[in-house]
A and B are shown apart, each in its own frame.
Chain A
Amino acid sequence: MPNMSGRKKTIWSWKGWPPVAAVVLFLAAWQGFVILFQVEKWLLPGPVDVFREAAGNWQRLWMHTKATLMICLPGFAASVAGAVGLALLMHRFETLKRAFAPLIVISQNVPTIILAPLLAAWFGYGLFPKLVVVFLVCFFPIAVSMLDGLKETDPAMKNYMRMIGASRRQLLFKLELPHALPFLFSGLKISATYSVLGAVIAEWVGSTKREGLMLFLNMTLSAFDLDRAMTAILMIVIVSLAFYGLIGLIEKLVIRWKPAREEKA
C-alpha cells in the first residue's frame, strides 16, 4: 500500500502533467463534439481523422514542412546575428541607441501581412524576400531583450568591476554578456515561435517553388480537403512547439547557475 501511494505521488508531482492533460482534454472534447453532432468530415474533421490523414500522407507533409523550415531556420539565424550585433553596438554607443530605437519598434509595427507582399513586389517570389520577412518578424524580441539584459546589469556589480580596474572589454565579457543571457533566451523563445508564423505568411504571398506548408494549406483548402488542411496546421503547431522547446533546452544547458526552484509545495 505505501508503494502504491508513493507511485501516485510521483505521477501527480510531475510538472508536465497540467498542459498535457489540458491538450488531451481539448482533443477529447473536439472528437466528442464531432461524434455527438455527427459533423461532416469536409466541414470539421475530428482529431482522429487528422492524425490518420497525417500518418497516411506523411511523405508529402514532411516535404512541405521541410520547405517551410528552410525559410524559417536561416531567417531566424540571420535575425539572431543581426539583432544581437545591433544590440551590442547600441549598448556601446549611446548615440546609436537613440538613433535606432524607433527603427527597431517600427520593424515590429508594420503588419507582416502587408510587409510580405511588398517585399515580394520588390524582390520577387524567390527565397530572399521570405527570409527578410522572418528576419524582421524575429528581430524585435531578440534585440529588445538583449538590450534590456545588457542595460539592467546590477549597478553594484558594475561598480565593483570598475573599481578593481576592469576594462570595457572585461566588463562586457565577464559581467554584462553573462547577465544578458537569460534575457536573450526569453527573446529567442518568443522569436522562435514567430519565425514559423513569419515563414508561413511569407509563403502565402506566393512562391516560385511548389512546396511549403502554406502552399499545401492553400491547395487543400480550395479543394475543401479539410482533414488535409488540418494536418498542415498540425505541422505548424508541432514545428513551433519543437522550436520553442529546443531553445528552452539550449537555455537549460547554457544557464546552469540559476537557483533551483523551490521543490517544497
Chain B
Amino acid sequence: MGAEKGRLEVNGVSKSFRDSAYASTVLADLTLHADAGEFVSIVGPSGCGKSTLFHMIGGILAPDAGRIVLDGRDITGERGHISYMPQTNTLLPWRTVLDNVVLGIEVAGGMDKRKARELAGKWLGRVGLADYAESYPHVLSGGMQQRVAFIRALISPQSVLCLDEPFGALDALTREDMQRWLLRIWEENRRTVLFVTHSIEEALYLSDRIYVLGDKPTRVAEEIRVPFPRPRADGLYGDSAFVALRKRIYERMRKDG
C-alpha cells in the first residue's frame, strides 16, 4: 500500500456504442488522472458515461481509442488492478460479514487466508462492526452494508479505489454520516480514490480535485482544485468559498448538460 504507488491516468479515451439504445452515449477523447494518494471526484449529469469510464478502467470494457495507465504501465483491457465499490449492495448473502470483507483480498490472491481474516477482523473492530463479523449481511442496515463494502475495497491489495456513487442509494441523513465516516478513514489511510457522484456537495466535501464532465459527447468540461485544508471541517457546507464553488460547478453542469 505504498503512497508512491497508484497514479492512474486515463489518456484520450473514446468509446461509442452503435448497436444499442445508448447509441448517443459517447466518451470522446477523455483525459484525466489521479495522483498517488489523491482523492479525485468525477461529477456529471446522469447517463453521461461515468459507469462506462469505470468499466474501461476496470478492464471489462475496451475503449475504441486511448489508454488506461497505472504507475506508468499500460493496463488497458487488463482486469484486477483496481478495487471497486458500486452503488448497490454487492455483499454476497451467503457469506458472513467477515468473509465478505475478505473477498477482495481472496479474489486478488497473494495473502494468507488467516492473515486476511485477521486484517478484516481488525478493520471491522475499528469501524464498530465487530459484533456483526459472524452475521449475514441481510441483518445490516443499508448504511452498515456500504461501510462493509468500503472496508472490503479499502483492504484489497490494489492501489486504486474506484467508488461508483457508493452512497447514491442511501437516505440523506445516512449519506451525510457516511461522507464524514469515509473522510475520517480515508484521511488516516490515504489511497488513490476515483469517486463518481451526482452530488456537487459530496464531491467538494471529500475531494482534492474534481472533474466536471460535460455531456454529449462526454469530455472534461472543467477541472477544479478544491482549496479546503485537511482534515476537512464539518461546517464546511456553510463556508462562503464552498458555496461559491458549488455554484460555479452547478452552472457549468447546467450549461453543458
Contact = CB atoms under 8 A, between A and B. Distances in A.
Interface of A: 154, 156-157, 159-166, 170, 174-175, 178-179, 181, 255, 257-259
Q: Closest 8 CB pairs between A and B?
A: A165-B80, A163-B58, A160-B90, A165-B79, A163-B84, A257-B94, A156-B88, A259-B138
Interface in B82-116: 82-84, 86, 88, 90, 92-95, 103-104, 106-108
Contact of B84 (A154, A164, A178, A255): A164
11 contacts: A159-B60, A160-B90, A162-B60, A163-B54, A163-B60, A164-B84, A164-B107, A164-B156, A174-B103, A179-B94, A257-B95
Given A163-B162, A174-B103, A175-B92, 13 more contacts: A154-B90, A156-B86, A156-B88, A157-B92, A160-B90, A163-B84, A164-B82, A164-B83, A165-B107, A165-B108, A174-B107, A178-B92, A257-B136
B87 to A, nearest CB: 9
Given A156-B86, A156-B88, A162 B79 contact: yes
Contacts of B104: 164
Contact of B55 (A154, A163, A174, A255): A163
Nearest to A259: B138
Interface in B57-86: 58-60, 79-84, 86
Interface of B: 54-55, 58-60, 79-84, 86, 88, 90, 92-95, 103-104, 106-108, 136, 138, 156, 158, 162
A30 B80 CA distance: 67
Contacts of B86: 156, 159-160, 163
Most chain B CB within 10 A, of A156, A164, A166, A257, is at A164
Contacts of A161: 107
Nearest to B103: A174
Contacts of B93: 257-258
A158 to B, nearest CB: 9
Contacts of B107: 161, 164-166, 170, 174
Contacts of B54: 163
A109 B79 CA distance: 44
Contacts of B58: 162-165
Nearest to A158: B90
B110 to A, nearest CB: 12
A262 to B, nearest CB: 13
A164 B79 CA distance: 7
A9 B106 CA distance: 48
B167 to A, nearest CB: 16
A178 B94 contact: yes
Nearest to A182: B94
A162 B55 CA distance: 9
B51 to A, nearest CB: 9
A164 to B, nearest CB: 5
Given A156-B86, A159-B86, A259-B138, A164 B92 contact: no
Contacts of B158: 164
